[in-house]
Amino acid sequence: MKVILRKTEYYDLEYIYSLQKKCFRESEWWYRSLIQQYLDNGLVIQLKNSTELIGVLLQGQITPCDKKLNFDTNAEYKSDVFEPTNDTGKVFNPYQEYYGIVMICIHPEYRGKGLAQKLIEKHFEMNNNKILCLNTRRTNINAYQLYKKMGYEQIAFIKNKYFLPIEDSIFMIKLN
């Protein structure tokens, strides 16, 4: 299998939109307008001699948590609660913006071939000397194991970060 790894172009929008629909649950699909915001710095893998995209990595600013909101004096906002899992997480500011992976997906037929690793390696190369971060669903064991292998460190759980189904996020960083 011959592939091309390249930066995203504006014309990739529909292909990325279609690919993420093959990779994620309907409740996790991104709007085209949201994908479009990340096209300046994204990466794609396409099959050589084809227009088909089989992998995408979108990168940009990430704020781990929204500040806790109080809708009234008796109720506390219950999602996006940052729970450190180690000393690094205890000193990490969850309300500050960091740079990292906002979306990564590989077409289901091409998983297990090292393509996600290639995207992440290129992401590291493009962002040398930065603290990089990402979120993954707590149940996404395959992604978690890949991120650990690539040098990310789990520093916190973010309560109820995901919806449909409601689930915690694992927040991870990579120090370069």
* 94: preceding bond cis by omega (within 30 degrees): no
Higher pLDDT, 82 or 54: 54
Higher pLDDT, 86 or 45: 45
What average pLDDT is seen over the chain? Answer: 89
What is the tens place of the pLDDT at every residue in 103-153? Answer: 999 999 999 999 999 999 999 999 998 899 999 999 999 999 999 999 999
Residue 18: phi, psi to the nearest 5?
A: -65, -45
d(CA 46, CA 49): 9
Which pLDDT belongs to residue 76? 55
Q: What is the pTM of this model?
A: 0.89
User: Hey, what are 56's tokens?
Assistant: 């995408």
Place of tokens 């409601």: 166
The CATH number of the structural domain formed by 3-175 is: 3.40.630.30
What is the tens place of the pLDDT at every residue in 65-98? Answer: 765 544 444 545 566 788 888 888 888 788 888 9
Which pLDDT belongs to residue 28? 85
The proportion of the chain whose per-residue pLDDT surpasses 90, expressed as a percent, equals 66
Which pLDDT belongs to residue 100? 96
User: Hey, what are 158's tokens?
Assistant: 């973010």
Which pLDDT belongs to residue 71? 46
Higher pLDDT, 164 or 20: 20
